[in-house]
Structure 1
Amino acid sequence: MKLNWGTGIVLAFIGFISFIMYFVINMNTSEKYNTSLVTEDYYKAELEYQNDIDKEKNARNLAQNITWKRTEKGLEINFPESMDISQITGKVFLYRPSNEQVDFETAISLSHHNLLIPDKRLLDGRWNIKVDWQYRGKSYLYKKEIVY
């Protein structure tokens, strides 16, 4: 059987389309390439974005904002020393961009001006930390990308 240039072009197109379809199907069905959204209900989160902007502005206007440091026991989040710790409430959310299974949220419960997140809960690498807290009826938000 003799192949002419028209048959060769058709076979090349069929091969190329098959190659592309294989990778499209493989990427969509394989658990290895599982992609996830940052948040499941991102439309609701978008509506709350102006509140977050206001909270961050409140936090920037503080004389002393939240700080963090890595200790041998874990991640230590320090709240302003000038505030009464019994009046501080809120939540700390740690988000790991590379693995949503290790994301977690914890309530703020202070006995001193710092909150310790144990080392065993954190993997080395990049984390996004979000501290949404209130003090005497005013809301604050601290967001930071950290490398632990």
Structure 2
Amino acid sequence: MKINWGTGIVIAMLLFMAFILQYVYKAVTNDKYNHELVSEDYYKDELYYQQEIDKVNNGNQLKDNIRIEAGKDGFVITFPKEMDVSKITGTAYFQRPSNKDLDFEQKLSPTISQLVIKHANLVSGKWNVKIDWKYNDKEYLLKEAIFY
């Protein structure tokens, strides 16, 4: 049986549409690609974005900025050595992009230069960490994506 050029074009278009629909189906049904909103109040958060930029710049001006790493027991936050850690206050926000039910926050009240954050909901994968802290009435902010 011989196929004319019109039938060939229709078959090629149908194969192309099936190819595209396969990728759409994979992207919609696979939990790996599931990302929820960062914040429900993103318009309100946008109003304070310049303050966040100023806090990040304050942290970048430090000789030794705060660091966060994934350890075997949880997240390890290391504060600058030149600072008196008893004067540091703030909050650490831990956000899981794929599941907002795992998000949590932890108040910072360090007594030594390292603070270990242990939490029952720590699962392996990507975490967006935001540490909003204050030292001597100056505010700082660290945003980092960490794989635990």
TM-score with structure 1 length normalisation?
Answer: 0.74
The 8 Å contact of residues 72 and 119 in structure 1, kept in 2 or not, is answered as no
* Secondary structure at the counterpart of residue 59 of structure 2: helix
The 8 Å contact of residues 93 and 131 in structure 1, kept in 2 or not, is answered as yes
Note the residue ranges of structure 1 that are not aligned, 5 or more in a row.
1-26
**CA separation in 1, counterparts of 2:36 and 2:144?**
21
Work out the number of aligned pairs and report it: 121
2:81 match:
81
**CA separation in 2, counterparts of 1:78 and 1:62?**
14
The 8 Å contact of residues 130 and 141 in structure 2, kept in 1 or not, is answered as yes
The 8 Å contact of residues 93 and 130 in structure 2, kept in 1 or not, is answered as yes
2:125 match:
125
CA RMSD of aligned residues (A): 2.4
Once the two structures are TM-superposed, the CA of residue 86 in structure 1 deviates from its matched residue by 1.3
* Secondary structure at the counterpart of residue 121 of structure 1: coil
Amino acid at match of 2:116: L
Larger-gyration structure (1/2): 1
Alpha carbons of structure 1 residues 98 and 39: separation in structure 2 relative to 1, 3 Å? same
**CA separation in 2, counterparts of 1:119 and 1:136?**
29
TM-score with structure 2 length normalisation?
Answer: 0.74
Once the two structures are TM-superposed, the CA of residue 80 in structure 1 deviates from its matched residue by 0.3
Note the residue ranges of structure 2 that are not aligned, 5 or more in a row.
1-27
Once the two structures are TM-superposed, the CA of residue 71 in structure 1 deviates from its matched residue by 2.4
